[in-house]
A and B are shown apart, each in its own frame.
Chain A
Amino acid sequence: MRLRPVVSSMRHYSSGTKEMTVRDALNSALDEEMAADPNVFVMGEEVGEYQGAYKITKGLLDKYGPERVVDTPITEAGFAGIGVGSAYHGLKPVIEFMTFNFSMQAIDHIINSAAKSNYMSAGQINVPIVFRGPNGPAAGVGAQHSQCYGAWYGSVPGLKVLVPYSSEDARGLLKAAIRDPDPVVFLENELLYGESFPISDEALDSSFCLPIGKAKIEREGKDITITAFSKMVGYALKAAEILEKDGISAEIINLRSIRPLDRATINASVRKTNRLVTVEEGFPQHGIGAEICASVVEDSFGYLDAPVERIAGADVPTPYAANLERMAFPQIEDIVRAAKRVCYRSVPLAATA
């Protein structure tokens, strides 16, 4: 077995900041976990010969062979079920959905089998499986390719649901997910794959792992708490910069994990800032923001100086036309306006252009 250096993780030990794309972060995490544990294998459409629909599994077929990087016929129900079955018998599958929109064709296996088997079998069958792939909207892919499944999977006991943002998140959380004995739904984002983030030496180490269920405070602030996950973390950070110029100091929480939800970090932050805005790309009803709001109302009601605001995707199937699509998803300006409303500043309710 030839050992190949991971494509673009630059292992020069100079003092300059290293950068890594999310794609390479995921690829390197998969590579390292497959090298460490022969039971880990990857399965999905186009993951092998094609190097992955989004090139996340690039180079893995060459390195580990077709037994551990399995190209499948087009049956999500099939390969999800096979993954679950192989996990029942001790393998550690990483099942790729080309997009989580297609996971609906396999959702019974994820929820009724993977999530519930440990409980239903009274601990006799555990399912150390990871379901991963791009989630939520990309750009111009229409209604059936743009839904966010965070809320759906996040509501199921027995599953863990992770939502990485940066490359460090991607590496640390995917490694944790693969090592975890419970089934994990790992929601990536297509538009983040190509984005580069600084990455520490610690995060580049093959033993690096992030704890599941802990949110990260990306930016400290004292006036308002903004929770976000995945691509929206980047938007929230940009919104925070704009808000700062207007004298509003925003604390940005990168959830990293939808289930378990880090209620402790969120509530501690709201108790400090007294105001909360939640941001997500998914549909508003029964969304992640709804759950966070409920949690804060239950635990920190007395600390709120303003009602919680949820920013979510529009309550419509995603339109294709670029102008309509832009209006269907939260933009940085939406986050800024919501933050100001929650601070009782006067702002126009909607975009003027």
Chain B
Amino acid sequence: MAAAANAMNPTVGPTTLHLHGLLFVPHCMHIGNPATILFALTLMQDMDFPGGKISFTTTKSFLPGSSEERVPCYRVLDEEGYSSSNILEHVISKEVALKMYSGMVTLQTMDKFFYEAQRQGRLSFYLTSFGEEAINLASAAALSIDDVILAQYREPGMLLWRGFTLQDFANQCFGNNAGHGKGRQMPIHYGSKNFNFITISSPLATQLPQAVGVAYSLKMDKKDSCVVAYLGDGSSSEGDFHAALNFAAVLDAPVVFICRNNGWAISTPVTDQFRSDGIVVKGQAYGISSIRVDGNDALAIYDVVRSAREIAINEQRPILIEAMTYRVSHHSTSDDSTKYRSTDEIEYWKTIHSPITRFRKWVERKGWWSDKEESELHLDVKKQVKHAMDEAEKQEKPPLRDMFTDVYEDLPSNLVEQETSLRETIQRHPQDFPKDIPL
């Protein structure tokens, strides 16, 4: 081979050896004295390792664990609701903006009342999205109905945007028969085939590789849509996060991963969750384009999700978005976060950085919203939420049959037997059977 021949012939210049990028150490021995060997070796610039060319260096240095400057955060609206982008202003219509805004208010109101309902014993459990309304509604607005959503649990705004009614939310939470859930799941574990929203699953981060699987299916169908998977900062520690990102990159899957970095995973602050610069830097480790965005800025979220979606679909590759925000909520009704963080901190984020307030300032300045509409909206939503809860409570619970169906596609013989035997027992002892379960 030419490289070997060059190695054997000391009169040939080093550039020829370099061109081939191959290192023939044994042959270099023939070149001559040690000085020549060293000369030849230092000029071997790169090597064809499996996986691609890598250049060599004679400087030993460790890559730092993190860079001196953190990855900056993309933002459009400042705290006073002034937009830095004229272009974006024209992309969002009044209709979309007001739907986003009223959706944020509706979500916040629904959360307030449902949380209270749990405290009063009317619901067994609830989980709010206070402080994260912009991520919810703005990302929903940027997607199409054909995009499949695999959420974590703090994203009910996605369903709200797509048409899930307050009554639907209440029905699921109250476990009655009017919802589509057949009373199977604990509250907030919504799901809707019609709205392309995969049923919420409790174990964290399992939705991430599953999102890649859905995207793989979409790819094979060649659909003009992508998959959007949500996760929190805590979920990025799960093994499934690693598996999902790695696979998404390898399979060229059209998935947009949206991480709500809200600073807290129950009582674990992000400083105890990871040592990296948040989640945005992890994307690059897997070969995925990533961006950090202000999660409390509805316009920025809308812009970034819209772009990410385009890239994912047109270029068939995954994108990672880290939305910086703050979990104003307690983790859930099973948590009292004042036990591990200061009320001042919570108040600060609730008021100063409220995504709803910020967006309202923008829509008001555009002349699309006023105080009158604001109070009307609040009154109206409050009334609707209360009504939905009252109705949901009055509804019948799912019938006995629904305990046995859907375990498999068809009812298996052992469950048929059990149901028959149960009904016989009920007939013999009707006084022992709860009155509120329809037969």
Identify the A interface with B (CB < 8 A): 67, 70, 72-73, 75, 77-91, 93, 108-109, 112-113, 117-126, 157-158, 160, 180-182, 213, 260, 263
Residues of B with C-beta under 8 A to A70? 251
Residues of A with C-beta under 8 A to B182? 122-123
Shortest CB-to-CB span from A286 to chain B, Å, is 19
Contact of B191 among A109, A121, A160, A213 (CB under 8 A): A121
Residues of A with C-beta under 8 A to B243? 75, 77-79, 81
| A124 and B217 contacting across the interface, CB-CB below 8 Å | no
Shortest CB-to-CB span from B415 to chain A, Å, is 9
Docked pose: A117 CA to B200 CA in angstroms: 10
Shortest CB-to-CB span from B255 to chain A, Å, is 10
List 14 other contacts, CB 8 Å, given A85-B150, A88-B213. Answer: A75-B247, A77-B239, A79-B247, A81-B213, A83-B213, A85-B214, A86-B214, A91-B213, A91-B217, A109-B210, A118-B406, A118-B408, A122-B406, A160-B408
Shortest CB-to-CB span from A262 to chain B, Å, is 10
Interface residue range, chain B: 35 or more
B419 at the interface (CB under 8 A from A): no
Beyond A73-B247, A121-B199, is A81–B210 a contact (Cβ under 8 Å)?
Answer: yes
Most interface-central of A67, A72, A123, A263 (chain B CB within 10 A): A123
B250 at the interface (CB under 8 A from A): yes
Contact of B250 among A73, A119, A126 (CB under 8 A): A73
Interface of chain B residues 146 through 192 with chain A (CB within 8 A): 148, 150, 180-182, 184-185, 189, 191-192
Shortest CB-to-CB span from B6 to chain A, Å, is 35
Residues of B with C-beta under 8 A to A73? 246-247, 250
Residues of A with C-beta under 8 A to B209? 75, 77-82, 84-85, 109
Shortest CB-to-CB span from A88 to chain B, Å, is 6
| B247 and A78 contacting across the interface, CB-CB below 8 Å | yes
Shortest CB-to-CB span from A49 to chain B, Å, is 14
| B212 and A81 contacting across the interface, CB-CB below 8 Å | yes
| A123 and B210 contacting across the interface, CB-CB below 8 Å | no
B11 at the interface (CB under 8 A from A): no
B216 at the interface (CB under 8 A from A): yes
Contact of A124 among B193, B212, B216 (CB under 8 A): B193
Closest to B201 in A: A113
| B213 and A87 contacting across the interface, CB-CB below 8 Å | yes
| B184 and A84 contacting across the interface, CB-CB below 8 Å | no
Shortest CB-to-CB span from A44 to chain B, Å, is 13
| B216 and A82 contacting across the interface, CB-CB below 8 Å | yes
Residues of B with C-beta under 8 A to A67? 220
Shortest CB-to-CB span from B395 to chain A, Å, is 15
| A81 and B206 contacting across the interface, CB-CB below 8 Å | yes
Beyond A75-B246, A113-B206, A125-B191, is A86–B213 a contact (Cβ under 8 Å)?
Answer: yes
| B210 and A82 contacting across the interface, CB-CB below 8 Å | yes
| A77 and B246 contacting across the interface, CB-CB below 8 Å | no
Docked pose: A213 CA to B416 CA in angstroms: 15
Residues of B with C-beta under 8 A to A117? 199, 201
